[in-house]
Each structure stands twice: as C-alpha cells, then as structure tokens.
C-alpha cells in the first residue's frame, strides 16, 4: 500500500492535521509543544501531518504557517514520530528550483523510509513573486514547467530541457536515488485546467466551500478524470475547526470552516465523506480551546468513525 493509499481511499474519509497544531491570533504562531502534539496525533490515529511553504510573512494575508522551512521542519517532526505520513500543503513550485525541490524530496523520502506526500502549488501570495525575481504573470507556465522538470528528475541520468530552469543532458544524476514512489498532488488550480490536473497529478487538494459548491466541484473532478481516461484519484480538502466544549453546541461559520460541538463536527465530516472527500486537513488556528484538549476529543469522539 502506498503512502497516499494509507490516507485516501475511495468512498472513505481520513483526517490529518496541519501545522501549527495550535490556536493563535494574527499571522505568527507561537509553535509551542508541536513535537508532543505531533506524536500524540500519530498515537490517536490521525493519518497525516501537513506542512506549509510560506517564504515570507505578509501581515495582510494573516497566516505565516509553521514559520520554519517545510523541509527542515518535516525532518524535525520526522524524528519525533514513526509512521504517520508527512505531507506538504503545499510546496510553491515556481519559487523553488526543481532540482532543489527534488534533492530535498529524495533526501527526506530516504531518511523517512517513504513517508512523504508532495502537495504542490503555484502560490497564493502575489507579494512574494518580486522577491524571487519571478513574473507573477508567468506563474501558470512556471508551475507546469517545474512540475515536468521535477518528474524528469525521477529518472536516472535524466535528459530534459526546461523553458525556465535549465536543461539536463544525461551526463549528471541526482542523488540519493529514490526508492519510494512519491505521490504528487496539485493544490487549487495552480493556473492549470482541471483536465491537466486530473491527467498529471496523483490527486487534487482544494479548499472548503459550502456543500452545493462541493457537489459541483466533485462532479467536475470526476468528469475531468473520465475525460482524461484516468481511474479514481483522491480529493483532499482543508477545514478550519473550532471544536467547542459542549458536545451538542450548535454550529456557526468561521473563516474557511465552522465552530461547533463534536456532534455537529462528526455529522459535517460524514457529509463530506458522502460527497466523496477522501481526506480532510484540519486547521486549529481559530480554536477557542487548548490544542491538547481538542486532539484528545477528536481522538475519542471523531476518529473512530473514519479510516
């Protein structure tokens, strides 16, 4: 079973967590007790830990992620856990050279014994592009070009010509060699058509929306897979949750999610599962309770109902 199969199965839903695993206000997290919380998440049965790639803190955007470089922090958390999947959500392809991305990926796959899932994106913060001397208007082309280069680097002594990042003539090879297959998921549209994503990626990561929008999105995803002669591929989404102390607390909307008790949380996740969502990345940023308490309640009341 591949690492992606462990977190995403057809007709079923599993749960993961994104760093920081804590509630905080403003853009910058405290990053407290993350190693302990990551280990506990693994013990409780969460299927994946997700790491963001946020080069700069843009205060107007409101969220700087886990602060640390995703590859460095994945290595750190890898050494505090044993088997849980480690996933990027997502590496910003146009702002990193594909050789550096592949070098970090192959190294961490080897060191973790194949625990890495690669979520990829073109970036959602226009303010970062000038800092890398990249043309925001080319981000779709940059993403596609880097994606192709990254795939080419999986071959021995690859031959490849990129429009933006250089060329390989088959005379040099990238080490360490990759013994483990790496699922490559696309986040959002990244400037690509849905048919391109269906044909070239191993799955699609999207954002939480209302159920009517989700129903149409799932229909579009299945149609894109059919039109490109692809078999089933997973659909993954993020979700902000403020799990209230009262089990029966009525829900209310928050940014990209909801606050509510465990009864509603379970019902909401079951409805996502019935619509075809295969994995939910839980974000606790807007939580009103300590993350330790929330993890324990999710582990007791919610996780037993999912794979």
Q: Is the pTM of this model over 0.75?
A: yes
Distance from CA of residue 25 to its chain's centroid? Answer: 22
Residue 130 phi, psi dihedral angles, 5° rounding: -60, -30
The three-class DSSP label of residue 175 is coil
Asked if the model's pLDDT at residue 1 lies above 80, the reply is: no
Return the sign of the alpha-carbon dihedral for residues 272, 213, 198, 118.
negative
- At residue 60, the pLDDT reads 86
Residue 236 phi, psi dihedral angles, 5° rounding: -125, 145
Q: Could you give the CA distance from residue 221 to residue 233 in angstroms, rounded to a whole number?
A: 9
Instruction: Yes or no: say if 154 and 178 are a contact pair by the CB < 8 Å rule.
Output: yes
Stretch 12-21: mean pLDDT: 98
Domain boundaries, given as residue ranges, for the chain: 3-305
pLDDT in tens, 99-139: 999 999 999 999 999 999 999 999 989 999 999 999 999 99
pLDDT in tens, 54-91: 999 998 888 999 999 999 999 999 999 999 999 999 99
pLDDT in tens, 241-293: 999 999 999 999 999 999 999 999 999 999 999 999 999 999 999 999 999 99
**Which of 3.20.20.30, 3.10.310.30, 3.40.50.150, 3.30.470.20 would CATH assign to domain 3-305?**
3.20.20.30
- At residue 294, the pLDDT reads 98
Q: Could you give the CA distance from residue 184 to residue 190 in angstroms, rounded to a whole number?
A: 13
Asked if the model's pLDDT at residue 187 lies above 90, the reply is: yes
- At residue 177, the pLDDT reads 87
Q: Could you give the CA distance from residue 151 to residue 181 in angstroms, rounded to a whole number?
A: 11
Q: Could you give the CA distance from residue 36 to residue 25 in angstroms, rounded to a whole number?
A: 21
Q: Could you give the CA distance from residue 244 to residue 115 in angstroms, rounded to a whole number?
A: 32
> Mean pLDDT for the chain?
96
Stretch 179-200: mean pLDDT: 96
Q: Could you give the CA distance from residue 250 to residue 94 in angstroms, rounded to a whole number?
A: 42
Rg, the chain, Cα only: 19
């Amino acid at each position: 079973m591949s690492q992606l199969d462990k977190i995403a199965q057809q007709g079923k839903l599993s749960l993961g967590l994104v760093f920081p695993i804590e509630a905080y206000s403003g853009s910058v997290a405290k990053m407290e007790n993350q190693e302990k919380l990551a280990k506990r998440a693994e013990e409780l049965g969460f299927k994946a830990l997700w790491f963001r790639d946020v080069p700069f803190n843009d205060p107007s955007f409101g969220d700087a992620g886990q602060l640390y470089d995703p590859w460095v922090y994945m290595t750190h958390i890898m050494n505090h856990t044993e088997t849980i999947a480690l996933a990027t959500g997502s590496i910003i392809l146009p702002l990193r050279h594909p050789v550096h991305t592949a070098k970090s990926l192959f190294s961490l796959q080897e060191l973790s014994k194949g625990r890495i899932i690669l979520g990829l994106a073109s970036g959602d913060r226009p303010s970062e592009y000038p800092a890398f001397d990249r043309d925001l208007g080319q981000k779709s082309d940059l993403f596609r070009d880097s994606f192709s280069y990254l795939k080419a680097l999986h071959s021995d002594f690859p031959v490849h010509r990129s429009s933006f990042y250089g060329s390989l003539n088959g005379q040099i090879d990238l080490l360490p060699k990759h013994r483990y297959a790496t699922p490559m998921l696309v986040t959002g549209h990244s400037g690509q058509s849905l048919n391109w994503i269906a044909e070239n990626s191993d799955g699609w990561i999207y954002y939480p929306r209302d159920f009517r929008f989700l129903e149409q999105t799932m229909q579009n995803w299945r149609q894109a897979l059919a039109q490109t002669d692809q078999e089933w591929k997973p659909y993954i989404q993020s979700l902000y949750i403020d799990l209230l102390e009262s089990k029966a607390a009525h829900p209310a909307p928050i940014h990209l999610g909801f606050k509510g008790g465990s009864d509603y949380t379970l019902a909401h996740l079951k409805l996502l599962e019935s619509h075809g969502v295969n994995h939910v990345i839980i974000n606790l940023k807007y939580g009103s309770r300590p993350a330790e308490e929330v993890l324990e309640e999710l582990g007791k009341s919610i996780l037993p109902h999912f794979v």
